Structure 1
Amino acid sequence: MLKFAAVGIDHGHIFDHVNGLTAAGAEFVGYCTQTSVPALLENFRKTYPEAEALDREAILADPSINVICTAAIPRDRAGLAIRAMEAGKDVIVDKPGVTTFEQLEAVERTVARTGRIFSVCFSERLCVPSAVVAGKMVADGAVGKVVQTLGVGPHRKSLSTRPGWFFEMEAIGGVINDIASHQIDQFLFYTGSDSAEVVASSVGNLGTPQSAEFQDFGEVLLRSAQASGYIRVDWFTPDGLPTWGDGRLTILGTEGYIELRKYIDIAGRPGKDHLFLVNGSGIRHIDCSREPLDYFDAFARDVRDRTETAMSQRHVFEVCRLALDAQARAAIITPKQQD
């Protein structure tokens, strides 16, 4: 049986990793208690009371542990992943998997040298049932050839609950690298693009003056050989919205389009995972909330069979490269001072 441990409990996405791998039949053997968010660790302990607290070095040295999953502080994820791979383990990393080009190069070298799997769990596609259904529809030709995606990733700041590193550029790598990696992943996946280029990008601190380094807005224009994509990410979700963000994705094809309202259908149907399909057959609304997730099952098989069915390494590295490139090239939007 595949065995895994958690190292890096600094972001709530670690719950997705543990739940997904457990559902895929893997055994959760324990976790390292090092954290920058004590409340998150306490919630983690309550959620998995049977899991054992283990020393980090003991986890890395244990040959019976096949997989390490981590949602550490973003700047630390690549280093932890490299140590795990050098110890003979495959890894699932929360996005962003890296925060610098140097980290990306080091991870690529380690994967090539060790043959281990470095997988980034882009949760806004892999852990969202409506996104899974959309992928199947695109593959079945429901909207013809995909020529453009429009992805938005709004988030709520929730300032009182954020650790100090959340506001540090060096810790997260900027708003595009931190959040828009989700939408870059989606662009490549739904358009069937192996690679792309950053046409334009911009970032800004438009509403968080108390944190000079923080970027609360970002946008990216992408282009591949067969499609284009626009991305907007921000930290402006208002308190009146009953969820953390109104994440949406529109997939435009030559014969129709799909719109995902992933987390809420504002002033509409209750619940999450709403998919709207418009094509030559008419208009359909599909409740995708019960669609099973397949990423973790595929990852478990890849660990066993040494395959790349869950996500290719080329895809992971291209998403990371594009996110870093868009962040590095971004024009700075400076808000106009009030008279």
Structure 2
Amino acid sequence: MKIKLGVIGFGGMGKWHALNAPRAGVEIAAVCDIAQEKQKEAIEMGYKLYQTADELLADPEVNTVILTVPNYLHKEMCIKAAEAGKNVITEKPAAMNVQELDEMEAACRKAGVFFTSHQDRRWDKDMLIVKKAYEEGMLGNIFTIESKLHSGNGYMHEWHIYKKFGGGMIYDWGVHLIDQILFMMPDAKIKSVYADIKNVLHEEVDDYFKIILKMDNGVTAHIELSTYILEYQPRWLAAGDKGTLIVKTFGCDGNIYRTGKLLEKLPPQITETEAGPTRQFAPVPPGGIVTEPLPEVQTDWVDFYRNVDDVLNGRAESKIKIPEVRRVLSVMEAAWKSAETGEAVLFE
């Protein structure tokens, strides 16, 4: 079965799918959008155009759809597509909440169609470097992982600034950052969720959050995002008892740091430093810290579509399963509850 994709919503991500999915052998069968300027652009780019989702769903050539519409429309569009017999891919977040996702999954199961969510950040090179280090024990027993995403651009855009449309950064990037941590450690259970969520520049929706996940494997994951931190922090920090890993940016510049000489015993004397007299935090002597390059990984975002093709043709299981998507939404709901109460929420 060849994937013949209908793109519902021809905004930024709709165009991305239309331009990139063919690299995985996907045929773009049709696109639709209700906005005239996007319709004009689709025609200029040579795509078969429909003005409404209902028209596209009636096209027998389309066997799979990608929903790149505002978040609040995902449930409605997913159920319509399933009832029309189309396989369904939603952009993230798959749904506004767990209850919506359950209804969407039930509709797809009843219709006998495939259903998944485009969690493409599972193919991010920076995250896969940290995942490889975790899986291969490169840092020993990891006790903390920090995932930080900062921007100095400040204000969000279009429908993302409105709560009723499913705007805000937890729905936008938060779903990715949570999913990456859970994907990195799929067998670890979450003991508790604590969150601080703020509206720094936006009245209706969040533009800063800090989410802390305490895992039963001893790792505490810190996830922080801000649209208005003007000096960026490293994208990733992972620290274990055998080393520390830093990935500075999405460009994957960074290192693994290790102790060159085993620091078994601190010097007996107090050292005068810029921080004042201290022993524990005196400068490490020359040769005390050595660096190694980050591990190499190979990845491609359109491997998502290669996996969907394999699933539809019976060659593989989906790499993004609905129970995994549901777990992420559950963490998001726990984070909102924690931010509201100011207390950690016990989880799994």
- TM bucket (normalised to shorter chain) is 0.7 to 0.9
The answer for the alignment partner of 2:101 in structure 1 is: 104
Secondary structure, in 3 states, of the residue corresponding to 1:292?
coil
1:6 alignment partner AA: V
Between the aligned partners of 2:38 and 2:207, the Cα distance in structure 1 is: 23
Unaligned runs of 5+ in 2: 261-289, 343-348
Pairing of 1:278-293 with structure 2 (within 5 A): 278=257, 283-286=291-294, 291-293=299-301
The answer for the alignment partner of 1:298 in structure 2 is: 307
Between the aligned partners of 1:39 and 1:193, the Cα distance in structure 2 is: 46
Pairing of 1:68-217 with structure 2 (within 5 A): 68-126=65-123, 128-144=124-140, 146-155=142-151, 157=153, 159=155, 162-163=157-158, 165-172=159-166, 174-193=168-187, 195-196=189-190, 198-206=192-200, 208=201, 211-217=202-208
1:33 alignment partner AA: D
The answer for the alignment partner of 1:327 in structure 2 is: 336
Between the aligned partners of 1:246 and 1:6, the Cα distance in structure 2 is: 36
Tell me how far 1:146 sits from its aligned partner. Answer: 4.9
Q: Aligned-pair RMSD on alpha carbons?
A: 3.4
Tell me how far 1:180 sits from its aligned partner. Answer: 1.2
Moved more, 319-328 or 169-178: 169-178
Between the aligned partners of 2:90 and 2:254, the Cα distance in structure 1 is: 28
Between the aligned partners of 1:215 and 1:34, the Cα distance in structure 2 is: 28
1:121 alignment partner AA: H
Tell me how far 1:101 sits from its aligned partner. Answer: 3.7
Between the aligned partners of 2:34 and 2:327, the Cα distance in structure 1 is: 30
Secondary structure, in 3 states, of the residue corresponding to 2:8?
strand
Q: Is the 8 A contact 2:257 2:291 kept in 1?
A: yes
2:197 alignment partner AA: V
The answer for the alignment partner of 1:3 in structure 2 is: 4
Aligned-residue identity in percent: 19
Q: Is the 8 A contact 2:97 2:329 kept in 1?
A: no
Tell me how far 1:196 sits from its aligned partner. Answer: 2.6
Tell me how far 1:135 sits from its aligned partner. Answer: 3.7
The answer for the alignment partner of 1:50 in structure 2 is: 46
Secondary structure, in 3 states, of the residue corresponding to 1:13?
helix
Secondary structure, in 3 states, of the residue corresponding to 2:313?
helix
C-alpha change, 1:182 and 1:229, in structure 2 (3 Å) is same
1:277 aligns with 2:256: yes
Per-residue CA deviations over 1:252-305 (Å, capped at 9, x if unaligned) read 455444433343xxxxxxxx2335334689633459797434332222211222
Between the aligned partners of 1:273 and 1:39, the Cα distance in structure 2 is: 37
Q: Rg: which structure is higher? A: 2
Q: Is the 8 A contact 2:234 2:246 kept in 1?
A: no
TM, length-normalised to structure 2? 0.75
Tell me how far 1:184 sits from its aligned partner. Answer: 0.8
Between the aligned partners of 1:246 and 1:119, the Cα distance in structure 2 is: 33
